[in-house]
Amino acid sequence: MDTINDKVEELVRAIQGSPDYVSLQKAQEQVNSIPGLADKIREFSWKNYELQNSDTDDFCEQMEEFAEQYQEFCMEPAVSRYLEQEVRMCRVLQEINARILGSVELVL
């Protein structure tokens, strides 16, 4: 288990040193320098999450409404930069997870 823990720590350091993570941290610093913006982004992200995971018949209509409501907000440079960097980092983490899970055989 020590080898696995060592490799996990190595992976964490590699992630933290990656250009995607560094860019995300810079974008987050910019967001944090604008009072109240981080809260607005969290609210936006939560509403988006709820909408994406809702079981509703009028999903497309609700998605259009959501996009209209937040269109101007997402065009703000600090917001768009942060959201873009967050998506990039999430994709990196998803790829890591997929590679690990794809290489380990579990029998249920």
Q: Which domains does the chain have, with CATH numbers?
A: 2-103 (1.20.1500.10)
**Digit-coded pLDDT (tens) for 51-105:** 888 887 888 888 899 989 999 999 999 999 999 999 999 999 999 999 999 999 8
Residue 58: what are its φ and ψ, rounded to 5°?
A: -105, 45
Of 54, 53, 28, nearest to 41 by C-alpha is 28
Question: What is this structure's pTM?
Answer: 0.84
